[in-house]
Structure 1
Amino acid sequence: MADTCHTPFVTGILWLILTWAAVLVSSQVQVPFASNCNFDGGAGDLLCGFVQQTVGDDFDWEVGSGPVESLGLSGDHTGGGSYAYFNTTGRTPSQTAILRSMQLASVINHCLTFYYYMAGTGVGSLAVLQNQIGEQWRTELWSVEGDQGREWRQARVDITSPLDVGGTPMGYRINFDAVVGSGQPGLIAIDDVVFINGPCDSDGCNVPLGMESRWITDDQITASPSGQDYPPAKARLHGNGCWIPSTPHSSWLQVEFPTTMILTGIRTQGFRTGWITKYKVEYSETLSSMWITCNAFITTDQLTGNVDADSVVEHLFSGRLQAQRIRVIPIQYHMQPSLRLEIIGCAFAMLECTGESMQIVFRRSHIPDFDKDHLHLIDPSCTATGNATHLILTAPFEGCGTVKTDTESEIIYFNKVLSHDNDGIAFITRIRELEVPFECRMDSRDTVSAMFSPQVEKIYFFTSDHGKYNFDMQLFQSVTFQQQIDTFPYVVQLNQPLYVQVEVLTPDQDLQLFAENCLATPTANMQDPMSYTFISDGCPVDSTFLSLFSSSLKQQRFSINSFAFVKDYPEVYLHCTVMVCNATDLTSRCAQGCLPPSARQKRTAPGAEPRYNVYKGPILNPGYKRSRDTGMLEDVEENRGARVPPGVMTSLVIAVGLLLCAVVTLAGVIVYMRRRTDHKTAYMALPTDDGPE
């Protein structure tokens, strides 16, 4: 009796356990039917999970293919398949056709994307509605009315998954309602219906990643053995060539990214040599992890390709893929398997490199399992900040665990983002586990400029993964470098010392600045053909140059006596090519200092460093005015009180000397001629008319 009495109780307990297990399992289900429907399925499943409404509408949706020329439709969205449609011709106004999804249940929200075609005077409206199971209400999520032009248009609709008070997902359906406007000809069609995990693309994550623009370089594109004239580097959307495998069987084309990306879709294109009609997509989260097949459809992992040489076919993935490489595998093709493509998505994180720090920014939608309290840098005390849409972590060059290394041309700063419960496994993204390494590569060479009328030039550079330091060139009034010159212009007398300080603006105290080459030009253009070099390969080449002490290795100070260029150039600009090294590296270029010509040839190949022509002319006072249409005396009068330049003084002395020589010579000639005339008169008989006596 005891066993008999306990049997219903045990059965009840088992039923309860199984029910809750089913609930828990269903809570992890994201979309329990086809997440991508292109209406190209077999005869038994043309609607791929959608069903016709049986109550509350007047007509059914139909599945068709091919053109409807009277309404401008040439075919489905991709050009070679089927689409669902409702023909409004001859219908009564306000009659409807409703296509509804199977029951959905999910703990996360979704983005519904689809393409629609609405043409003709008879169309009324197309709407997307959400109907919660067990409720009579329907919520309109999206709608459009009237003729939308004779083209396929894309729609994106956010779907909020209903949950009960305990967080358990509640069932719902999505309906497509088509409404007749009038009895005139009209067509409403939909195609390529896709449910994407997460919200719609409100964060700009549906952009081309660089195949067409060449942001993706040739060496990032690889493939199985390829045709001689059709290498993988030619597989660029709208390019002049394409990729064709040498052997179609087991062929593939692969694109690698420098870091983890968010991939949301793919666009393909054929070529005049043929096109791929069916293909698969695989992706890998890192360069070393296993390949994962991208399942775009419930019945097949194959994507529909192209139907001609030029049309572009786009497919959005059913979810956002976090991947560092993606591979396309041809399945079927026409003529030859020819491929041009573009990858769609966005960066997993945005990295800013400044002269002082690194800042990495995540969109919350990319890491929905983490908040600012979950993330930190190598130093756990350096945590994230954030706003409603982004999470931000800032790593100074000195601190927060930042590691610095240097090469001949770069200084590299490295850190990583970690979640609090990270166990050291280097995966990019996992639930409750995150590790994102990042680095900034700072160019160690740059050029800074200033002028005698010193408008201070600060040079700032920014890229997503590379950067340059901020440099500053200042002029000071004395050798103490305490009073900075900030007047415009800065007028100096010739041969007056100029006190110059060049500095790298960064909190990193382990850096050393080195001015490798410095020159002066009469214009702001460093490439001006009239230039005067006063530092070459770290060696002073001007006799007035003095290297001055600075307590900071990030600064270099020197003085040089002022000068001016000939031919009426009122301004002089200083330019220095500088480099930054690790101060602890005794073998760095900065530590080597001045290199004589023989050492330069051994260190670097010819042309590896910039060279400038040296034009050394007379030094002129900035207030001096050269003569043009006026005489020398006017110039001297205008510059009375100013020191005459040495070159001009030499010219004056020579001119006066030549003039005196000319006067003395002329006087000598006159005296000589007179004496010669007197001598001839004394000794020569003068002829007369008288005859001899």
Structure 2
Amino acid sequence: MKWLCTVWSICIGVVAVRADYRGVTLSCDPSNIRIAFDDDFLIRNKIDITTSSQLHFARNQRDVNCVSERVGATYTLTLWPPYTGCGTSVQHETDDYVYSNTVMFTTSTSNTVVMNMQCRYEDKYVVSSDIGLTPYVRTLNFVTGQGTLGVQISLYQRKDYHPKSKLGLRPSVLVGVPVYVSVDMDDVFGDDNIVTSLNTCYATTSRDFEIMDNYHYLITGRCASPTDLTVRILTNGESRKSRFSFEMFRWKNTAEYIYLHCEVKVCNRTREVCTGNGSLCGGAVLQHWARSEWET
């Protein structure tokens, strides 16, 4: 899914051109950040481009990755992950990661600021399996007001997470058999200190994470839930991949399918607490608790 934002809604500060953003489109996606200027905008603002390299990100006219290219009837500039090149700055002072840059127009005699631009990515999402433990395993893009991040939840049969053990469409899992869960985030930051942290994971009988008529916690407070001692945290808040396992169960006299939901925090471990603390937050299972049904 792509989320397109017109520049007037999220871009700030224009110098040397009129504040008329018609014909400018900014796209903040998991795979790239892209800003496009159509010919009408350029004509209205007397930006006469003779070569596409004249329109570029700040201080990077000589870098071919930081200049515009002709795409249809637009001049388009693109930033690729990690979004730290071409003079891009990043801030994480609130609940958002904010990427900022400036588009310049350069001639032999002048440098003109066309406009400043920002893309905001929230740092909290909820990721859900599509059909519980018969899931359509897929990549989910989470749309915020300004941008999107990609997070993927996958289920495996083996503790080494071998690709061949990945559960496909509508798998059947025996009660009491371990299920290995991996929640992975796209590498859009290019910073090993930006990690995936699972604050909470739970199972329900609904694919809608907000409907909790029947629910069972697997992870709470970034640690294994004390109500289910089959849960084992393998890694959480240490990299872009958070992993845990639990033994398959079923509810008594209720739905056929179990749905998994995880609250994901995009966490900066140099400034935030991204891992749990305690015996239930990593390492071996304290004990095995045999159960095949949960009362509802």
TM-score clears 0.5: yes
Counting only pairs closer than 5 Å after superposition, residues 163-174 of structure 1 correspond to structure 2 as none
| Distance in 1 of aligned mates of 2:94 and 2:12 | 27
Once the two structures are superposed, the pairs formed by residues 292-691 of structure 1 within 5 Å of their partners are: 322-323=18-19, 347=22, 349-368=24-43, 369-371=47-49, 372-378=52-58, 379-380=60-61, 381=63, 382-396=66-80, 397-421=83-107, 433-450=112-129, 451-462=132-143, 466-483=146-163, 484-510=165-191, 511-526=194-209, 527-541=211-225, 542-549=228-235, 553-583=239-269, 585=270, 587-590=271-274, 593-594=275-276, 619-620=292-293
Using structure 2 for the length normalisation, give the TM-score.
0.76
Classify the secondary structure of the residue corresponding to 2:250. Answer: coil
Asked if the contact 1:521/1:528 (under 8 Å) is kept, the reply is yes
Tell me, yes or no, if the aligned pair for 2:97 and 2:123 is still in contact at 8 Å.
Answer: yes
Looking at structure 1, the residues matched to 107 and 200 of structure 2 have their Cα atoms a distance apart, in angstroms, of: 51
2:18 counterpart letter in structure 1? Q
Structure 1 residues 566 and 361: alpha-carbon distance in aligned structure 2, compared to 1, 3 A threshold = same
Deviation string 1:44-64 (CA, Å, 9 cap, x unpaired) is: xxxxxxxxxxxxxxxxxxxxx
Q: Distance in 2 between matches of 1:395 and 1:524?
A: 35
Contact 1:476–1:499 (CA under 8 A) maintained in structure 2: yes
Kindly, what percent of the aligned residue pairs are identical?
21
Letter in 2 for 1:365: D
| 2:67 alignment partner AA | T
1:652-676 CA distances to partner (integer Å, 9 max, x unpaired)? xxxxxxxxxxxxxxxxxxxxxxxxx
Is the partner of 1:365 in helix, strand or coil? helix
Q: CA deviation at 1:388?
A: 4.6
Whole-angstrom distance in 2 between the partners of 1:546 and 1:460: 27
Measure, in 1, the Cα distance between the counterparts of 2:68 and 2:36: 9
Change over 3 Å in CA distance of 1:582–1:403 after alignment to 2: farther
Q: Is the 8 A contact 1:448 1:457 kept in 2?
A: no
Matched residue SS, 2:147? strand
Q: Structure 1 residue 461: deviation in Å?
A: 4.0
Task: Give the whole-Å Cα distance in 2 for the aligned partners of 1:388 and 1:488.
Answer: 39
Letter in 2 for 1:619: S
Contact 1:417/1:434 (<8 A) preserved: yes
Deviation for aligned residue 1:436: 2.0
Equivalent pair of 1:416/1:435 in contact (CA under 8 Å): yes
CA–CA separation in structure 2 for the residues paired with 1:497 and 1:419:
58
Report if the CA contact (8 A) 1:522-1:571 is conserved: yes
Q: Shift of residue 469 of structure 1?
A: 0.7
- Cα–Cα, structure 1 residues 351 and 461, in superposed 2: closer, same or farther, change >3 Å? farther
**Distance apart, 1:595 and its partner CA:** 6.7
**1:521 and 1:550 mapped to 2: Cα distance?**
22
- Cα offset for 1:438? 1.1
Q: SS where residue 373 of structure 1 aligns?
A: helix
Give 1:519's aligned amino acid.
Y
TM-superposition CA deviations, 1:434-459 (whole Å, max 9, x none): 34221111000001111211212432
- Runs (4+) of structure 1 exceeding 6 A deviation are none
CA distance in 2, matches of 1:565, 1:534: 14
Task: Using the TM superposition, give the Cα deviation of residue 502 of structure 1 relative to its aligned residue in structure 2, in angstroms.
Answer: 0.1
Measured on the aligned residues, the alpha-carbon RMSD in Å equals: 3.2
Matched ranges for 1:150-229 at <5 A: none
Q: CA deviation at 1:422?
A: 9.3
Alpha carbons 2:205, 2:257 under 8 Å: kept: yes
- Higher helix fraction: Structure 1 or Structure 2? 1
Unmatched segments (≥5 aa) in structure 1: 1-208, 210-215, 217-256, 262-284, 290-320, 324-344, 424-430, 597-617, 621-644, 648-693
CA distance in 2, matches of 1:422, 1:521: 63
Report the AA paired with residue 366 of structure 1: F
Greater relative contact order: 1 or 2 (C-alpha under 8 angstroms, separation 6 or more)?
Answer: 2
Change (3 A) 1:364 1:434: farther
Letter in 1 for 2:123: S
Shift of the 574–259 alpha-carbon distance from structure 1 to 2, 3 Å rule, reads closer
Whole-angstrom distance in 2 between the partners of 1:422 and 1:558: 58
TM (normalized to structure 1)?
A: 0.34
8 Å CA contact 1:408, 1:588 repeated in 2 = no
CA distance in 2, matches of 1:556, 1:353: 25
Report the AA paired with residue 530 of structure 1: N
**1:367 CA drift (Å):** 1.6
Q: Distance in 2 between matches of 1:259 and 1:348?
A: 14
Please list every run of 5 or more consecutive structure 2 residues that lacks an aligned counterpart in the other structure: 1-5, 279-290
Q: Return the structure number with greater strand share.
A: 2
Counterpart of 1:508, as a letter, is: F
Report if aligned partners of 1:260, 1:348 keep a CA contact under 8 Å in 2: no
Taking the aligned partners of 2:143 and 2:37, their CA distance within structure 1 comes to: 18
